[in-house]
């Protein structure tokens, strides 16, 4: 079941980030998990999960399930298992799924710890409209280095010619605080106020961009 979880997570990451490569999606996921759940896992570790070299364990399985919209990993397992169960086999297969999940949980605890260690090697700091790489010094406004966020997260001033969507995928995210809108080129957490950015919508574009409000 963890294999199906990883495949679903990478598929959603591709849709949200617009990235087609496994590496690009893994960078996006590592960044998202760090910012939203305050849990460190490296993109390399996520790629190993994708390649079936290891299987994710708790609490990462819960965070990945929440990324897909479930309450926890148990909710994901239940949702994926129930549609294919026959009435007479329900309890047996449900228990079997849980047994398999429990067996897989301890397998990669070490790899998650390595991801955390690697993540602390360098930091980045927000400079006006972009992140800059820096040595970690303990400053309040520092973040652990995330390559996807460093290279793709920029603050922009969109116009009516800005490409808000590409092949149906959102390319711009925004935050509205104190009646002021700010736009960014990637999803994630606002670098200053800590709020989760929202994907831009046609309504927002029409009201605040094309009308000049």
Residue where a domain terminates, one of 119, 141, 176 = 119
For residues 125 and 103, is the Cβ–Cβ distance under 8 A? no
- Our CA angle for 63, 35, 171, nearest 5°, is 100
* Residue 35: closest CA among 194, 198, 200, 199: 194
User: Rounded to 5 degrees, what are φ and ψ at 33?
Assistant: -65, -40
What are the residue ranges of helices labelled H in the chain? 2-17, 22-37, 43-50, 60-67, 73-81, 90-104, 109-119, 147-152, 202-204
Residues 64 and 95 in one domain: yes
Residues 68 and 52 in one domain: yes
- C-alpha 186/C-alpha 12 separation (Å) is 15
Q: What is the pLDDT along the chain (213 residues), one digit of tens a residue?
A: 889 999 999 999 998 888 889 999 999 998 889 888 888 888 899 999 999 888 888 889 999 999 998 888 988 988 887 554 455 555 555 565 555 555 555 544 433 333 333 445 589 999 999 999 999 887 777 888 888 899 999 999 999 899 999 888 889 999 999 889 999 999 988 998 888 889 999 889 988 887 655
How high is the pLDDT of residue 103? 54
Task: Read off the tokens for 69.
Answer: 């919209």
Residues 63 and 100 in one domain: yes
Residues 91 and 178 in one domain: no
Residues 141 and 200 in one domain: no
Residues 146 and 200 in one domain: no
> What is the pTM for the complete model shown?
0.49
- C-alpha 183/C-alpha 200 separation (Å) is 9
Which burial class, exposed, middle or buried, applies to 27 when counting CB atoms under 10 A from its CB (0-12, 13-18, 19+)?
A: buried
Beta bridge partners of 189: 196
How high is the pLDDT of residue 181? 94
Residues 164 and 105 in one domain: no
Cis peptide leading into 59, omega within 30 of 0?
Answer: yes
Which range marks the domain in which residue 168 is found?
154-213
Residues 104 and 136 in one domain: no
Residue where a domain terminates, one of 119, 139, 162 = 119
Number of domains in the chain: 3
How high is the pLDDT of residue 104? 53
Residues 16 and 45 in one domain: yes
């Amino acid at each position: 079941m963890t294999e199906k979880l990883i495949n679903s997570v990478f598929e959603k990451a591709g849709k949200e980030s617009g990235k087609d490569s496994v590496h690009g999606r893994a960078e996006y996921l590592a960044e998202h998990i760090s910012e939203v759940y305050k849990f460190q896992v490296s993109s390399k570790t996520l790629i190993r999960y994708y390649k079936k070299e290891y299987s994710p364990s708790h609490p990462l399985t819960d965070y990945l399930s929440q990324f897909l919209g479930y309450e926890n990993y148990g909710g994901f397992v239940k949702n994926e298992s129930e549609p294919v169960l026959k009435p007479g086999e329900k309890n047996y297969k449900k228990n079997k799924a849980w047994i398999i999940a429990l067996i897989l949980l301890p397998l990669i605890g070490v790899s998650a710890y390595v991801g955390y260690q690697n993540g602390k090697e360098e930091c980045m700091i927000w400079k006006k409209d972009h992140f800059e790489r820096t040595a970690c010094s303990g400053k309040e406004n520092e973040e652990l280095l995330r390559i996807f966020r460093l290279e793709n997260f920029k603050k922009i001033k969109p116009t009516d010619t800005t490409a808000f969507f590409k092949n149906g995928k959102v390319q711009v995210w925004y935050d509205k605080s104190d009646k002021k809108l700010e736009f960014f080129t990637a999803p994630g957490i606002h670098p200053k106020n800590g709020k989760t950015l929202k994907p831009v919508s046609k309504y927002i574009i029409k009201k605040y961009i094309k009308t000049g409000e």
